[in-house]
Structure formats: C-alpha cells, structure tokens
Chain A
Amino acid sequence: MNAQFTFHPDRCVGCAACVMACINEKRIDIDEQLPFRMLLSNEYVDGDRVDVTYFVQGCMHCRDHPCADVCPKQCFTYDRGTGVVLLDNSECIGCRRCANACSFNAIQFNRSQRALKCDGCIRNLKRDRLPLCVLACQRQALTIDEKNDIVKDGLAELNKEISVYEHRQ
C-alpha cells in the first residue's frame, strides 16, 4: 500500500476516532506528546446557517516532502515501497526548520527538543493493512492511496482550513 494520505474536509464529522486510534496504536502518553492526528474545527456563519468544518491535522506523507529537504541532519528518509516519509530523530538538533516548512503542523518536539511525527503505521502498510487512523475513519474522510489530482485538491482544502484556523487563534 502507498501512504499518500488525503483528507476530505467535506466528509469529516469530527468524531475523533482517528485521534483515539492513534493514541491506542502508538500507546501515546498525552503528557509527553500529542497524538499524530489532531482534530480541529472552524465555524462559518452565513445568516442563520452555521457550517462547522472539521479537519484532521497530521503528516500527509507528501510526495514533495519539504521537511526532508530542509533538514540539515538528513533525519528524514523516503520509503520507496510505501511512500512514507520517515523520521529518525537520533541526530535531531531541534532546529525546527522541518516544522516551519510543513503546511500541516505535523511535526512536534518532545521534551528533549527532538522532532516527532507520524510514521504512517508503516508496519501495517507493509502487511497491506491500513494505518489505524484511516481504518478508524467511519466516513473515508481520511484516506490513502488515491490518485494525485484528488490528493492535491484534498490537501489544498485542508491547507485552507488550517490557515483559517490559525488566523482565528
């Protein structure tokens, strides 16, 4: 399986199953780090009409992976078999260039200022099983393995939602 993640904001209902699935799969202690999928939302009001858009933030394993390009220590590698962008933080110096280059706020730092990010549940992908957040999604809002144009549209929309959210904060 190929881990090109796509997110379709119009399909997400904000149930947070992906967030909890990530916590469960990666046994994340939320006092130490955030889950690799985070649920955020925007509200749009038009007269009486209120639209809530949810979006799930996390590594999309971009094909052009800007995080990898800016890392001075070559911590990032691209797995050709699955398309996953992998991070080995043992050489990380905490310069945060990768985080700044990422459009999806997908990179966080642990207490010792080393970068952390999603590994696409690569062990699952290699066994032809879905990453847990994708498996958890009831409505195929979070998908992998789609054609490139859908990937681009989905990501453009997600990017828009994230920038609205950031502006509001």
Chain B
Amino acid sequence: MAFEIRNSLCRVCSSGCPLNVWMNDEEILKVEPAPGGKLCARGYIYRDYVLRPDRIRTPLKRIGKRGSGKWKEISWEEAYTEIAKKLNGFKKKYGAESVAFYTGYTKWYRPIFHRLVHSFGSLNYGTESSTCHMSMRMGSLLTYGSLTRPDIMKSDLFIGWAYNPFFGQNYDGMLLENYKEKGGKVIIVDPKVTPAVKFADLHLRVTPGTDGALALFLGNYLISHDAIDKEYIEKYVHGFEEYKKEVRKYTLERTAKITGITEGNLMKAAKMLEESLHISCQVSGAAIPHHINGMQNVRAILAIQAITGNFDRQGGILPVEYSNEEFNIKVLWDDFVDETRPLSEDGSGYQNSPAWHHENPWFNPEGRKLVKPKIGSGRFPLWSTMIDEFQSNDLTRQLETGEPYPIKALFALGMNHKMFINNERLMVALDNLDFFVDVDLFWTTAAKNADIVLPACSSLERQELVEQGPTVRFTEPVIKPLYESKSDVDIICELANYLDLDYDDKILKDGYETVCKYVLRKVGVTLDQLKASPTAVKIPGTLPFFEGRSLEDGLRTPTGKIELYSETVAKIPKEYKLDAVPTYRESLDKASKTEFPLILTAGGRIPGEFHSRLMGVKSTNILRPLAAADIHPQDAANYGISQGDTLNIRTQTGQIQVQANLTNTVKKGVVFMFQDYEEANVNNIIPLDHLDPYSGFPGYRTVRCAIERGKTE
C-alpha cells in the first residue's frame, strides 16, 4: 500500500479551489482542502462526483432509434472519422454555419473550443452563458466598458443585489464578515432570506424582477438631494441629463407600489446612500438578469456608482480589465480565439463591439472569410453585437423553423438541456437535426438522445492550465482517465485533425501543451516552470490597481466615458425598441393574473448542488431528499397546503408536481424552485418567448403561476 497526497483542483464550479487528494495507490480515499484553504459542501463530495456510477465509459454510436438506449461501442478513431465525415459533409453542402457548436457549464476549455469553431469557418459557437453571467456583463460593458468588482474593504456602504456568498464562494463570505467587523454598512436586496441577510443593516425584500425600479428610485433620490458627484459626472459621465429625466418617474410612492418595499424602508435605504461616500456593490450574474427586464435592471443598478463618483475609485467598484491594453498582462486566450475568426457577412457581430478593440495588433480583418450571422442575430441584435457567442435561447426556434438558415448538426460538450427555456420543446426540436454529438462525463438527457456520445473526464484525470486572478497554474492528472474517457481539450484537438478547417490550425492540431505554450508566450512564465510548481505562480509584472487610471485613459465605450445613455444601444435599429437609458418595465409574462396569481422563481443556489452536476451523487440526497418548492406559509394556508404535501405548479406553458416546503424565507406570493431536479424540470414550464429583448436571457425568476394541492399517490 502506497499512501500519497496529490494536488489538484475542485472543478464543480469555476472557483477552482485547490484540493489535496488522498490516494492509496490509484484509489481515491478522500479529498481535503489544500492547507489554509476551504472547501464548500460540493468540494467535499468531489470524489463521489468523479466516481459517479453513471459515467459514460466509451465512445458510443446509436444503433436504435434516438433515445432508445441502444448503442454500439466504437473506437475513438471510428468516432472521429464518423463525426468528421458528417460535419465536413454538411459544411460542403449547406455551409459551415449549418453546424452549431455548443458547450454547457464548464468553462476551462472554452477558448480552445471557440477557436475550433472559427477555424472550421463559422461563428456558430454558443454556451450556457446565454442564460448566466453574460447579461450582467453586457450591462457592465455598456456602462463602464469592463466588468467590475467591489472594493469592499474600503467601502462605507456595500449593496449586495441578490447577494449570498455563503453557499459556495467561501472567500467572498469571509470578506463580507471582515468588512462587517470593521464597521462597514450593508444593504442586501433580495426577496429571499439568505444567510447573507444576517450581515445586513437593511434587508430590502424586493418583489422579484423590480430591482431596476428600486435602483432608479435611489438615483432619483440622490439627484434631488444633491448627493451626487457633479464634478465626476461632468468629467466622466455621458448621458446624465437623459438618465435624470428617466429616474424622475420613480417617486417614493410609485416605487413602493412596484417593488413591494415599504416607503419607510425605501427612505432608510436612500438615506444610507446619501450619508455614504464610498459605495460599492455586487450584482448577481443570474438572479438579477433572469428577468425579461434583467439587463436594463443591471444598468440601473450600476448607474448608482456612476452618479456618486464611485467607479474606478477606492471603496467603490473597480474595473476588472484596464482600457490600456499594456496593463492587461494575462494568458492570451482572447488573442487565441480572434486569430482564426471569420467575419459576419451582415457587418454586425462582435468585431463591432465597443468592448472589443480594433487596435489589437493581432487582428487583421483583411483576407478573412465572410460567413453567415450567428444564431439569434436577427432577434437579439444587442447580444449579437456585444457577446462573442450565439444566443442559444434562439436555437429552439431556428431548429423548428429553419429560419434564417437550417441547422443540420449539433456538436455539444456537456449539454444540460435543463438550462434551456421550455427545454422539452428543445428536445423535440433536436429531432430535426440530421446529426447530434454530445460529449459528457455522465448520462444526461442530452447524451441519451445523441447519435454519437463521447466520454469526457474530470479535473482529477486531466492536465489543466488555470488562470486565477494574477496567477497561473498547471495541474497534472492525479489519476488516469477512467474507462476510455479523455480530457475535453484532447477531444477538441484530436477532432481538429479530422475536420476540414478553413484555417489550417497547426497549433490546435498539435494538442493541449502546444496550445498552452502558445497562449503563455507573453506571460513571462513558461509551461515547464508551471509544471514544476505544485501551486499557482504569480504572473510577473501584474500591477496593483491604480485608482482612476481607466477613467483617465478612456473607457472601452463608444464615447470613452461612463455611458448612462448608451451609444451602443442607440445604434440598434428602432424596430427593436431598445432604450438607450436604463428604463424599467414589468418582468412578468402576459398570462392572466386571476388565473395565475403567484410568481414562480425558477433557479437559485442551494448548498451541495451546482446545476445538475451533483444530482447524480447519492450523498447530496441527505440535504434534499425530494424535489421541493418553497412556498410561504400564508400562501400555503390559502390553498390548504401543508408541509410535505404534493404541490402542483402550473404556468401558461405547463405543470410540474413537487413537494411543498413551507418557509418564511420566501416572500409571500412567490414560489421558489431549484432548477435542476431530474424529476421536476421547472425551466421547462417557462414560456419559450419569455426572453429579455436586450440580452435574450430567459425570465426564469418571474413567471406567473398557479399552485394547488396535488393528489398524493
């Protein structure tokens, strides 16, 4: 028996917490956090995640009907040959855009996959970020030309919009606690009572989807009480007058009515802002954008820092990317993706985005192929302009109608159909495909319905180049890939050797280590150095934050200023009816209020789960034995529902049956449901067109619903 501790990373979520893996020969005994670190509930069951019994073991080819479960084992060689024959054929006959490439949650290989799509000659690369993070990113880019982070420790007031770091982001939780101990003030805006509320001086239990109105009210109050930074606005803000005109509509009385917050609490919040100099904030990348008014709500929220002079200032919110490229010393993934990019033939697309800068020396538009606009371009032009991915919420429609062009094949990695809106309709639409490949670790619904399935491996079984803040790290596998599985990157690079690429991509074809060396070439750390280091290595030359540097250099917005009136939005054709200032509108669907009197909020974080990844790990049942929805005891009483009763939740689109969990932590009138139960697919009952016109994001968190006590079998 040879006992050994090996280093790796937990990759259930993207945090990448360092793991000590306790090994007995090649058997994983357990995991522990690396010394000095912490793991969350998910990390502690990483061993069980890796050893999930439903791992896909070998490449398989379907021999029965789709979804029939009849498969034939094939070799990797056979799989690549077959996939390439099909994809090359569709490319030749219908154009490269007829193949859609999609990836689910995990993010580590995305630039490599993205480059393959470009080299193949298409812009049809999509991800689950069509439902997570990107809408918040859009709001942030439109306003500040960069994502932002709160400089919480130097703040006087921190506003957490749907903020709860205690079910996963350990470090942020500790930061919030240290900040509180130092005497910092906290406002939490959240319809739910979460552990973060314990740290709040004021908890605003806003009606879901009305955060924008609340933010506009706060802007109105600050302007009318002269609690704004006029010099800063004069110098750095574009569109203040238009914004000022818009916020005037949000009076105390009206805002109280919209948001369900009492006038007293609204005034308390406004006064706390008025009395604070340094105001920071954190906006949830899912909870706030998951409304059909979500992107605009993000902009309204971020505008508070603009008018109080708190962007790019200590104690406020800081840019994550500098506008001066010289300061962004990092692994060159953006460069890597751009190098082989074709251009969209309608002239639209990411190359026109203000967030994407033409001066990049590596990007030469000459000689690039013109290709069809990516999926969703006609429907979500703002998304398509700003985000370098197709809007995957438009995939179902395009599969059903074949407009503006047919999609013949889908090559997916880790596709979780439950992330899609009204997803059983997607599963039916996938039947229109001539060819569907899914790569995954586990037997998901998507994998079961594919034509060819390829087994991927976990972070314990692969090499991985990890960039975290100002550091990079390279991990080696701690165990050999289980069964015949391979690292996703190896699958992508090996497949590149079989595909007819428009760009003869020698780097991709050469494999992961060549790719890593290539993207590290300006970082100042070599791959060999990283391989020799058991821990992360600081990127030499990374600079500390300079206050005001980005504002002085000019932001990556069309005017170079903070844009409360967005010139990017103003350029979108009028028929799309997008407003250039952060306006507010109602987020509920048009179903009858009498028939569907409650609000369904689908999605959120619960301990021990992350999307559907840990649903197949038996131990997590100890925390949530059955699919349950949270309802308020008063709502339950109105409908004669008791704890543990069967509960029917109905929307205009469909119905699910779950267990009732009575709790005061949800707001009265709201039904909360975690999104990834295998046995209760709540995202499926959200109407297919319940999408934010700005970002294409689904309005998962505000849908009219009705509840009733179901029959217990």
What residues make up the interface of A, taking CB atoms closer than 8 Å to B?
A: 13-17, 19-21, 23-25, 27-31, 34-35, 38-39, 43, 45, 48, 50, 52, 54, 132, 135-136, 138-139
Contact = CB atoms under 8 A, between A and B. Distances in A.
Contacts of B174: 138
A40 B607 CA distance: 13
A13 B30 contact: no
Given A19-B41, A45-B664, A136-B38, A13 B31 contact: no
A31 B41 contact: no
B167 interface: yes
Given A136-B38, A138-B38, A50 B44 contact: no
Contacts of A13: 166, 173, 195, 198
Nearest to B614: A20
B622 A23 contact: yes
Contacts of A138: 38, 40, 166, 170, 173-174
A21 B607 contact: no
Contacts of A14: 166, 195, 607
Interface in B26-58: 29-33, 38-45, 47-48
B608 interface: yes
Contact of B623 (A25, A39, A132): A39
B167 to A, nearest CB: 6
B619 A136 contact: no
B32 A19 contact: no
B4 interface: no
Contacts of A43: 663-665
Interface string B48-77: 100000000000000000000000000000
B621 interface: yes
A30 B619 contact: yes
A23 B45 contact: yes
A70 to B, nearest CB: 28
B334 interface: no
B258 interface: no
Contacts of A24: 30-31, 44-45, 47-48
A139 B177 contact: yes
A13 B607 CA distance: 10
B499 interface: no
Contacts of A30: 618-619, 621-622
Contacts of B39: 17, 21, 136
A39 B48 CA distance: 20
B195 A50 contact: no
B233 interface: no
Nearest to B205: A48
Contacts of B619: 20, 23, 28, 30
A20 B44 contact: yes
B177 A135 contact: no
Given A24-B47, A54-B195, A132-B32, 15 more contacts: A14-B166, A15-B166, A17-B39, A17-B44, A19-B622, A20-B42, A23-B622, A24-B30, A24-B31, A24-B44, A25-B30, A30-B621, A50-B664, A136-B39, A139-B173
Interface residues of B, number: 35
Contact of B622 (A17, A34, A54, A132): A34
Nearest to A31: B618
B193 interface: yes
A29 B621 CA distance: 11
B41 A15 contact: yes
A158 to B, nearest CB: 17
A138 B664 CA distance: 25
The 7 closest A-B pairs by CB, nearest first: A13-B195, A20-B44, A16-B607, A13-B166, A16-B41, A20-B41, A24-B44
25 contacts: A13-B166, A13-B195, A13-B198, A15-B40, A15-B607, A17-B40, A17-B44, A17-B607, A19-B41, A20-B43, A20-B44, A20-B608, A23-B619, A24-B31, A43-B663, A45-B664, A48-B205, A50-B664, A50-B665, A52-B193, A132-B32, A138-B166, A138-B173, A139-B173, A139-B177
A28 B621 CA distance: 13
Given A15-B607, A16-B623, A135 B33 contact: yes
Q: Decide if the interface of chain A is mainly helix, strand, loop or mixed.
A: mixed
A20 B41 CA distance: 5
A34 B623 CA distance: 11
Contacts of B623: 16, 19, 39
Given A43-B664, A52-B193, A136-B39, A15 B167 contact: yes
B42, B44, B47, B665: residue with the most chain A Cβ atoms closer than 10 Å: B44
B45 A20 contact: yes
Contacts of A35: 622
Nearest to A129: B32
A136 B30 CA distance: 14
A27 B30 contact: yes
A19 B170 CA distance: 16
Nearest to B46: A24
A23, A30, A135: residue with the most chain B Cβ atoms closer than 10 Å: A23
A71 to B, nearest CB: 28
Contacts of B198: 13
Contacts of A50: 193, 664-665
Contacts of B32: 132, 135
Contact of A23 (B38, B40, B44): B44
Interface in B204-263: 205
Nearest to B199: A13
A19 B41 CA distance: 7
A153 to B, nearest CB: 19
A75 B42 CA distance: 35
Contacts of A139: 173, 177
A38 B623 CA distance: 9
Interface string B619-633: 101110000000000
A132 B32 CA distance: 8
A92 to B, nearest CB: 24
Nearest to B177: A139
A50 B668 CA distance: 12
Interface in B126-175: 166-167, 170, 173-174
Contacts of B30: 24-25, 27
A34 B41 CA distance: 16
Nearest to B667: A50
A11 to B, nearest CB: 9
Contacts of B41: 15-17, 19-20
A12 to B, nearest CB: 9
Contacts of A29: 618
Contacts of A21: 39, 44
B82 to A, nearest CB: 40
Contacts of B38: 17, 136, 138
Contacts of B48: 24
